[in-house]
Structure 1
Amino acid sequence: MTVGDGTTLPYLTKELVEDLLADPPDPNNPFLVIEREEQNYVQTCLDSDGVYELEYREGSEGEHFRVHTSDRSLVRDVVWAWSTDNPWWRDAVQWRNVDLTIEELSRLRECVTAELAEIREQLAAVSEMIPKISEVALTLSVETDGSDDGESN
C-alpha cells in the first residue's frame, strides 16, 4: 500500500484505511493505492472539492473502472472489502468503465494547460523587459548618431 507522500506501508487494517482517508499524510497528494500486482489495484484520491475518485483495475485497459463519491465511509468500506477479497465491493457502487480516450484527453489538457501557463509567465517576463530594451536601443542609437555626426564633420 502506498500513500500520497510516497510512503509504502507493510500492512493494512480497516482503521488505518479510515485514518489515511481522514488525515492524508500529504494533503497536497491525498491518495491511497493498494496493489496486488502490476495493473491489479484499487486506489482513491480526494479532489479539492471533497469528492473521492475511487478506481480499480484488474489487468487490461478494459478492466479499469471508476466512481466518484463524497462518502468517505463508503470509500473506506470498498477499499477494505477489495483488500480482503470480500466480493461486496463489486456491487457496492455503480462502477463506470474508464474511457481511456477521455482519460488521455484529460491528461493532454492538463499538460497543455501547464505549458500555456509557463508560456504566459515567459511572455510576461519578456513584456517587462521590452521598455528596458527600448530604452537601451534608443540610448545606443543616440550615442551612435552623435558619434557619427562628430566623425563626419
Structure 2
Amino acid sequence: MEDLVFQLIDACGLPPARLEGEDPVDIDPLAHPGHRPGDGSPYGSALEKAVLNLPRDGHLVLECAADEQCYAQVWHRPDGTYQLEYRDLAPAEHYLTRTVSAEKVVAALQGWTAGGAGRRDAFRWESIGSWFADS
C-alpha cells in the first residue's frame, strides 16, 4: 500500500520540499573526486529524449568516466514504471528507487551528470548493496 501512495505522489510531479535558505544547486558531497559522466553519455535535451523514448523493458546506463564502479541507470519496466539506480564507487553503495514519472527520472539523471545532490532528494532510495556482496 505504501508503494502505491508513493507512486501516486510521484505521478503528481510535485518538486521535493526545500528548507528555507537551502541552496537549490548544491554539489553532491558524496560524489568522488573526478566524478563526471563518460564521453558516450547523453546530456541535456539528448538525455531527456533518451529517457522519454525508452521502450518498455528498455534501459539506459550512464557510466562515470573516472571509475567503473560509479554509474546511474534506468530501466523502463514492462509494467510502465521506471526503476532508477545509482552506484557510488563500490557494490555496497548501490541504491534503487521506482517511479511512474519520466520527468523525475530525467531530472535525477541530469542531476547525476552535473554531480548535484538534488537528484536524490525527490525519491525514497533503498540500499541494494547487499545484493552484490560476495557470499
Could you say which TM-score interval applies, normalised by the shorter chain?
Answer: 0.5 to 0.7
> Does the aligned pair in 1 maintain the 2:41–2:62 contact within 8 Å?
no
Summarize the alignment of residues 32-51 of structure 1 with structure 2, pairs less than 5 Å apart. Answer: 32-36=60-64, 37-51=67-81
Distance across 2 between alignment mates of 1:98 and 1:51: 18
Look up the match of 2:9: none
Q: Equivalent residue for 2:118? A: 88
Partner residue, 2:108: 78
User: Per the alignment, do residues 11 and 54 of structure 1 end up closer, same or farther by CA in structure 2, a change over 3 Å counting?
Assistant: closer
| Equivalenced residues, count | 95
Give the match for residue 26 of structure 2. Answer: none
Shift of 1:99: 5.3
Q: Which has the larger radius of gyration?
A: 1
After superposition, the C-alpha distances for 1:32-62 in whole angstroms (9 at most, x for unaligned) are 1111121100100100111100000012222
Question: Matched residues in 1 for 2:93 and 2:129: separation?
Answer: 10
2:75 and 2:84 in contact (8 A); partners too: yes
- Cα distance in structure 1, aligned partners of 2:130 and 2:49: 31
Q: Which amino acid aligns with 2:121?
A: D
TM score, norm. by length of structure 1: 0.54
Q: TM-score, normalised by structure 2?
A: 0.61
| Contact residue 45 and residue 54 of structure 1 kept, 8 A | yes
Structure with the larger RCO, 1 or 2 (CA within 8 Å, 6+ apart): 2
Match of 2:58 among 30, 47, 57: 30
How far 1:93 moved relative to its partner? 1.1
Deviation at 1:65, TM superposition (A): 0.3
Cα offset for 1:78?
0.2
Say whether the 8 Å CA contact 1:14–1:76 is kept in structure 2.
Answer: no
Is the CA contact 2:56–2:77 (under 8 Å) kept in the aligned structure 1? no
Q: Per the alignment, in what secondary structure is the counterpart of residue 124 of structure 2?
A: coil
CA RMSD in angstroms, aligned pairs only: 2.6
